[in-house]
């Protein structure tokens, strides 16, 4: 996916230190949860990155599959210099295309950036839950994102102030 000023592409292992550097200021501001570098390497195939025309990494985002029809948008970050220039929107578009390709029909995110995700078609989940049989399977996952989606008590300290949002894909 190419725009006039940037390119969205699949992440490569060489991008991991750059992804971590891009995310770090948001971790310091407690907007995103910090992750060890090994976790980024393990999930590199879930990431898309945005490069400016000089080859600098200016955005990233990941799609994590949670269930047969459900994925999570994770670690969405845009360089401060590139905010408001369509980078986040382009990333969401690519992650949605990836989700459709995988057969997903719903995307979840846990975010402070409610306005951004609302502009991109997400709605506040409120107290929405999942089918009890699906819940029984999901609750077995050690993944923190799944726990956040299920609104489990053990993740509450990490999710204070965040909004659980969902988008149904057409």
The pLDDT score that the predictor gives to residue 133 is 81
Q: Which helix (H) or strand (E) holds 75?
A: strand 70-78
Q: pTM of this prediction?
A: 0.89
pLDDT digits 0-9 by tens, 48-93: 999 999 999 999 999 999 999 999 999 999 999 999 999 999 999 9
Is-contact 82 63, C-beta < 8 A? no
Sorted by where each starts, the structural domains of the chain and their CATH numbers stand as 6-168 (3.40.630.30)
Q: Give the pLDDT band (50/70/90) at residue 130.
A: confident
């Amino acid at each position: 996916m190419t725009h006039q000023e940037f390119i969205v592409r699949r992440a490569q292992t060489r991008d991991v230190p750059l992804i971590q550097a891009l995310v770090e200021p948001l971790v310091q501001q407690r907007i995103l949860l910090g992750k060890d570098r090994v976790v980024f390497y393990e999930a590199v195939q879930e990431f898309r990155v945005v490069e400016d025309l000089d080859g600098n990494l200016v955005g990233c985002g990941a799609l994590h599959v949670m269930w047969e029809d459900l994925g999570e948008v994770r670690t969405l970050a845009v360089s401060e210099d590139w905010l408001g220039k369509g980078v986040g929107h382009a990333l969401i578009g690519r992650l949605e295309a990836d989700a459709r390709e995988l057969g997903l029909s719903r995307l979840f995110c846990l975010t402070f950036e409610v306005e951004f995700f609302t502009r991109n078609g997400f709605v506040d989940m409120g107290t929405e839950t999942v089918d009890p049989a699906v819940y029984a399977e999901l609750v077995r996952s050690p993944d923190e994102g799944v726990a956040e989606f299920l609104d489990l008590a053990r993740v509450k300290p990490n999710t204070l102030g965040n909004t659980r949002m969902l988008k149904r894909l057409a």
